[in-house]
Amino acid sequence: NAGVTQTPKFQVLKTGQSMTLQCAQDMNHNSMYWYRQDPGMGLRLIYYSASEGTTDKGEVPDGYNVSRLKKQNFLLGLESAAPSQTSVYFCASRGFETQYFGPGTRLLVL
Amino acid sequence: AQSVTQPDIHITVSEGASLELRCNYSYGATPYLFWYVQSPGQGLQLLLKYFSGDTLVQGIKGFEAEFKRSQSSFNLRKPSVHWSDAAEYFCAVGPRGLMNRDDKIIFGKGTRLHILP
């Protein structure tokens, strides 16, 4: 049972490049989330999805887009990366009550 | 407004000493309550959770937390810390039952625990 997996684990981008962070869960959870974690800021919610096909903005959605075409997958896109998007990104899924986190993707934008 | 406050950004304790990490919340109804731990370079791991019943809940790694409704608090405790407990700890609250579209789990900003040898 893999739980929540994220790819890639580490990525370096140049300003203006685009990329997609991938998240998959095998727990048949309805809800999935994307957070970013920066020093001293805790976890900030970027986007979330209450069910397949639905997405909603969180606290810091600017510069990101998401896609939830399949229940088990939640994709986070950066259309034009900026240095301010250097961060650690965590995906999570939630079943009835508890949220489970992936191992994170460390992103560096130069 | 819904919020979670962890008033201590950093806490330092000696190995073998007792520990209490504070968490206060503001929420419309009694929420589900969680504590997560994050070791350096790792993801968040669930330590314990409170849904209902006994207000003192036991978790992994020897941690426990007490829910106090009157104080809107859910403090984390450990009788004797080990060097391996050095990590960042996050308190979180979430809605009861199946989530509505606007429901989210809210995290505190974390408390970083340092252990002195």
B101 interfacial to chain A (CB closer than 8 Å): yes
Tell me whether residues A97 and B49 touch, CB distance under 8 A. Answer: yes
- Given a cut of 60, whether residue A43 has pLDDT beyond it is yes
In angstroms and rounded to an integer, the radius of gyration of the C-alpha atoms of chain A is 13
The candidate with the shortest Cα–Cα distance to B81, out of B117, B57, B54, B106, is: B117
Tell me whether residues B32 and A104 touch, CB distance under 8 A. Answer: no
Interval A20-28 mean pLDDT? 96
B chain contacts of residue A100, beta-carbon cutoff 8 Å:
46
B chain contacts of residue A33, beta-carbon cutoff 8 Å:
104-105
* Tokens coding A2: 């893999």
B chain contacts of residue A45, beta-carbon cutoff 8 Å:
104
B chain contacts of residue A92, beta-carbon cutoff 8 Å:
44
Q: Which residue from A minimizes the CA distance to B46? A: A100
**Of residues B103 and A12, more confidently modeled:** A12
What is the distance in angstroms between the Cα of A42 and the nearest Cα belonging to chain B?
A: 4
- pLDDT of res. B102: 62
Interval A81-100 mean pLDDT? 91
Interval A32-49 mean pLDDT? 91
- pLDDT of res. B101: 58
A chain contacts of residue B34, beta-carbon cutoff 8 Å:
98-99
Q: Give residue A63's identity as a one-letter amino acid code.
A: G
What is the distance in angstroms between the Cα of B44 and the nearest Cα belonging to chain A?
A: 6
- pLDDT of res. A96: 73
Mean pLDDT, chain A, integer: 93
Question: Which residues neighbour B47 within 8 Å (Cβ) at sequence distance 6 or greater?
Answer: B34, B35, B36, B37, B59, B60, B61, B63, B65, B76, B89
Interval A21-31 mean pLDDT? 94
**Of residues A15 and B30, more confidently modeled:** A15
- pLDDT of res. A72: 97
Residues 13-52 of B with CB under 8 A from A: 32, 34, 36, 42-46, 49, 51
Q: Which residue from A minimizes the CA distance to B90? A: A42
- pLDDT of res. A82: 97
- Taking only the tens place, the pLDDT of each residue in B26-80 is 987 778 999 999 998 888 999 999 988 899 999 999 999 999 999 999 999 999 9
- pLDDT of res. A1: 61
Residue B81, CA atoms < 13 Å, CB-side half-sphere: 22
* Tokens coding A37: 């974690």
Q: Which of A50-59, A80-89, A92-101, B14-23 has the lowest mean pLDDT?
A: A92-101
Tell me whether residues B92 and A99 touch, CB distance under 8 A. Answer: yes
- Given a cut of 60, whether residue B98 has pLDDT beyond it is no
A chain contacts of residue B45, beta-carbon cutoff 8 Å:
101
